[in-house]
Each structure stands twice: as structure tokens, then as C-alpha cells.
């Protein structure tokens, strides 16, 4: 316990000592033991008279804001309203998928768009392993298998998709049409 605590305390003390100048860029004094007279550094020029001295060294100066002259406000007289800024609509960003299976469906669509049926099938199988009771995923896999020419496998997968679909849903109707076309 003490062997771990000692290095932590030493590093904390060193880091605290390293920041004692407050970050003002003042170099630490160095002792010269060579016996030669010390050379003095040239003094930095005083700040220009037109720039007021900062009273709070921790406050940062923001260019374009802090160099503006102060506004004269007369009590009782309203200041003019600023000109309205035209608002441009933000560019539409495609919605992020909310589930991993939706993200994989996007990847399946991308693989199909590139004509890569093997990659689309592999990603669809992965999506089915993640959400095994999702009828839409099973139906997508069945359609990929049909595109690959593996109709027997596509029929089996479509029947499984139909078993997971709600009886009156649009997916169930699509799967039924798909099965009739294959059989």
C-alpha cells in the first residue's frame, strides 16, 4: 500500500510545483556558478498606452468581441433591434439505426446495391442471429437466397419468416406473395 502511495504523492507534488508560475511565461531564475558575471536579459517593452491593462489575468481576451468599443446606452431610450439573421435549414442527416439489426439491414442494403449477394447473405444471417424472431430479417434473407438461385432454401426461410410475422401485418402479406411466386 505504501509503495503505491509514495509515487502518487511524489508525482502530485511535482506537478503542483511545475505550475507555480501560473502559466504566465515567466522563466524560473537560474543560478550561475561559473564565476562569470551574470548577464541580464533585455527588459520586455512596456505595454502600449492605448491598450488598457488587464486587471484579471485569468480572463481571456476574445478577438472580435473584447476589442469592440463599449456601447453607449441612454436610459429610457430603447436601443435599435438587431437586424434579423436569415435562418438556413440544416441539412438532413439520415437517421441513425436504433438497433443493431437495423444497422445490419442498412449494411445488407449497401451490399445489395453493390451487387455482392454473398456479403448481403452473410450480414443478413448475422442479423437473424441477433434478432431471431424478427420476421422482416428472415424475409430479407429469404429474398437474398432467391436472388442467389437457392429457391428451396428461400422457401424454407420464408416460411419461418411467416411464422414470426403477425397474421394481419404487411410483412405477412409480402411473405405470402413471395412464397406464391416461388412455389
Distance between CA atoms of residues 71 and 110, nearest Å: 57
| Rg, C-alpha atoms of the chain | 36
pTM of the predicted model, to two decimals? 0.49
Does residue 126 contact residue 107 with C-beta atoms inside 8 Å?
no
Q: What are the extents of the domains in the chain?
A: 100-182
Instruction: Render pLDDT for 43-95 as a digit per residue (tens, 0 to 9).
Output: 556 555 555 555 555 566 666 666 666 666 566 666 666 666 666 665 555 56
Instruction: Render pLDDT for 130-159 as a digit per residue (tens, 0 to 9).
Output: 999 999 999 999 999 999 999 999 999 999
Q: What dotted CATH number matches 100-182?
A: 1.25.40.10
Q: What's the pLDDT score for residue 101? A: 83
Does residue 161 contact residue 142 with C-beta atoms inside 8 Å?
yes
Amino acid at each position: 500500500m505504501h509503495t503505491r502511495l509514495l509515487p502518487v504523492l511524489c508525482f502530485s507534488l511535482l506537478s503542483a510545483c511545475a505550475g507555480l508560475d501560473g502559466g504566465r511565461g515567466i522563466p524560473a531564475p537560474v543560478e550561475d556558478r561559473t564565476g562569470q558575471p551574470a548577464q541580464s536579459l533585455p527588459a520586455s517593452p512596456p505595454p502600449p498606452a492605448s491598450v488598457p491593462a488587464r486587471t484579471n489575468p485569468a480572463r481571456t481576451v476574445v478577438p472580435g468581441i473584447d476589442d469592440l468599443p463599449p456601447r453607449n446606452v441612454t436610459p429610457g431610450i430603447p436601443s435599435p433591434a438587431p437586424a434579423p439573421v436569415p435562418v438556413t435549414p440544416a441539412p438532413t442527416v439520415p437517421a441513425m439505426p436504433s438497433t443493431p439489426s437495423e444497422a445490419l439491414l442498412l449494411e445488407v442494403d449497401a451490399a445489395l446495391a453493390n451487387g455482392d449477394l454473398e456479403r448481403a447473405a452473410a450480414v443478413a444471417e448475422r442479423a437473424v442471429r441477433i434478432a431471431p424472431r424478427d420476421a422482416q430479417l428472415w424475409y430479407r434473407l429469404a429474398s437474398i437466397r432467391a436472388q442467389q438461385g437457392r429457391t428451396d432454401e428461400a422457401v424454407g426461410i420464408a416460411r419461418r419468416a411467416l411464422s414470426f410475422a403477425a397474421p394481419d401485418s404487411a410483412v405477412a402479406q409480402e411473405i405470402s406473395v413471395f412464397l406464391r411466386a416461388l412455389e
